[in-house]
Amino acid sequence: MAHLLAGAASVNITPSIPIPMGGYIAREGPANEVHDQLYARALVLDDGQTRLAVVTADLLGLYRQTTAKVRGRVQNLCGIPAENLMLACSHTHSGPDSMLLMCATLDQEWEQVLPHYMVSAVYLAVQRLRPARLGVGVGQAHFTRNRRRPWEEGTATPPGPVDPEVTVLRVDDAAGQPLAALFHFTSHAVVLGSDNRALSADFPGAAIAAWQQRHHGATGMFLNGCFGDINPLHHGGFELVAEYGEQLAEAVDQACAGMVTSGETRLRRRSVEVEVPLRPFPTVEEAECQVAAAEARIRTASPPLTPVQRQIEMMYPLESRHLSRRPSGPLRTQIQGLRLGDAAFVGLPGEAFVELGLDIKARSPFPVTAVVGIANDEVGYLPTEAGFAEGGYETQTCRWSQVAVGAGELLADRAVQILQELKRE
């Protein structure tokens, strides 16, 4: 077995301001300042037989079309097979709109150059390939809650399942100094609320910054998990963002304590195309009735609604209009698995409920498994069957909640199959 090679790089993807922001329909206006820079980061690993790339971005999410652009250009430029690249976003709600949801608008110029920045990160990482050692560790961080379970601040521990594990893939250079750390944790990146109009990577960005301060010259990278029903324990301002970032960075280092690294690590990749069933959408006539009814409510409201209130009133009727005009049939997407020694990272193309991630991990044949959310695509929320029965925001039909009942369990089963296949290789 050849000695492991690794390289990592970061490229600034912060757009110029003002720019439309994604994540909150209640936000009044575009970004008007930059609190912290946004980055695309890449880690490239090569065991002599397989070369893999993991790309992370401080963004709300990206569709499969963007992943295809990045993969194609990386394959042409760097020789890394398209299917050997995983692209995942942190899901910050304080970044530029990258998905055209909730009545937002895209900055076309920035959107066109974004894939080039990601390709540049991979290219730089390839140029920096050097002998390396890889280790895996697991820690814990405790600042999240299940947002679908009622909880009053100051009372007992919030109810409902969460996933406190912090899974860390650390790459050291030949001298034993950290070269990069890929860390995985599960939560919506929503410490900052709709009142924030400063671009920010939220707590994942703060965690990376805190970890990199402790390990000068190393590249920190964040992967989110099955965060569909998981939020930070509290919402607040940038002080709280920094506090949670420090907690996560500390958990990363704790996971690395006593870590054993190896320069002989086996790398493998598996992926499968999946047809995800969609729920029935409104007909054109039904959607237009919803739009007309919402417009009537706005006209007759007393006192008159504010612009944000009008947007909220129109949000789901306009989503119904959009969905009523879409072609029927299942949604084609992908599940991807990466084997990194005795650890596995399996990517789901949406915002799965945490119960699905815990189920996949429990059934995985690997001692360490990280289930990566919104990997390579964003099909929206992936509730459990029980979640659909309970109802709620995450199950209300729109572009970010469109899959049929049982789709989450279907994807979880396919993910476990991929893990089993990787284990046999």
Rounded Cα gap, residues 45 and 244, in angstroms:
29
* pLDDT of 328: 76
Quick one: 250 and 289 in the same domain?
Answer: no
Nearest Cα to Cα of residue 132 among 4, 288, 280, 291? 4
Q: What's the rounded Cα separation, in Å, for the pair 287 and 293?
A: 10
Q: With H, G, I as helix, E, B as strand and everything else as coil, classify residue 276.
A: strand
Q: Which of 290, 253, 299, 265 is nearest to 398 (CA)?
A: 290
Residue where a domain stops, chosen among 259, 294, 324: 324
Are 192 and 94 found together in one domain?
yes
Q: Please check whether residues 310 and 165 belong to one and the same domain.
A: no
pLDDT of residue 105: 67
Q: What is the pTM of this model?
A: 0.96
Q: Which residues pair with 413 in a beta bridge?
A: none
What residues make up the domain containing 288?
Answer: 284-324
**Alpha-carbon distance 155 to 3, whole Å?**
52
> Quick one: pLDDT at residue 364?
98
186, part of any domain: yes
Query: Based on the structure, what is the number of domains in the chain?
Result: 2
Question: Does 96 share its domain with 24?
Answer: yes
Q: Are residues 155 and 299 in the same domain?
A: no
Per-residue pLDDT of the chain (425 residues; tens, 9 = 90+): 569 999 999 999 999 999 999 999 889 899 999 999 999 999 999 999 999 999 999 999 999 999 999 999 999 999 999 999 999 999 999 999 998 776 556 788 899 999 999 999 999 999 999 999 999 999 999 999 999 998 877 777 888 999 999 999 999 999 999 999 999 999 999 999 999 999 999 999 999 999 999 999 999 999 999 999 999 999 999 999 999 999 999 999 999 998 999 998 999 999 999 999 999 999 999 999 999 999 999 999 999 999 999 999 999 999 999 999 988 789 999 999 999 988 999 999 999 999 999 999 999 999 999 999 999 999 999 999 999 999 999 999 999 999 999 999 999 999 999 999 999 98
Neighbouring C-beta atoms of residue 342, cutoff 10 Å: 13
- For residues 240 and 125, what is the distance between their CA atoms, to the nearest angstrom? 32
* Dist CA 413 CA 365 (whole Å): 13
Q: How far is residue 357's CA from residue 283's CA, in Å, rounded to a whole number?
A: 34
Residue 279 forms part of a structural domain: no
130 and 5 Cβ atoms separated by less than 8 Å: yes
- Whether residue 332 contacts residue 65, with contact meaning beta carbons closer than 8 Å, is answered with no
422 Cβ neighbours under 8 A, 6+ residues apart: 268, 270, 337, 338, 339, 344, 366
333 in a structural domain: no
Examine the domain organization and report whether 165 and 305 are in the same domain.
Answer: no
Residues 321 and 305: beta-carbon distance below 8 Å: no
d(CA 13, CA 199): 11
Same domain, 15 and 84: yes
Q: Pick from 210, 152, 163, 153: which is nearest to 187 by CA?
A: 163
Nearest to residue 11, comparing CAs of 115, 92, 99, 98?
A: 115
* Predicted pLDDT at 104: 58
Looking at the fold, whether 143 and 200 belong to one and the same domain comes out as yes
Report the Cα–Cα distance between both ends of the chain, in Å, rounded: 15
Query: Under 8 Å CB-to-CB from 74, ≥6 apart: which residues?
Result: 53, 80, 82, 85, 119, 122, 123
Decide the pairing of beta strands 33-34 and 198-199. parallel
Are residues 311 and 162 located together in one domain of the fold?
no
Please tell me what DSSP assigns to residue 376: S
List the one residue out of 259, 114, 118, 239 whose CA is nearest residue 183: 259
Q: Which of 264, 292, 324 is the last residue of a domain?
A: 324
277 in a domain, yes or no?
A: no
Residue 329 lies in a domain: no
The encoded tokens of residue 370 equal 């990280």
- Torsion sign across C-alpha atoms 104, 86, 347, 202: negative
- The reply to whether 212 and 114 lie within a common domain is yes
Examine residue 115 and state whether it is found in any structural domain, yes or no: yes
Residues 288 and 268 in one domain: no
Domain assignment of residue 361, yes or no: yes
Tell whether 139 and 69 lie within a shared domain.
Answer: yes
Q: Is residue 278 part of a domain?
A: no
Residues 120/54, Cβ–Cβ less than 8 Å: no
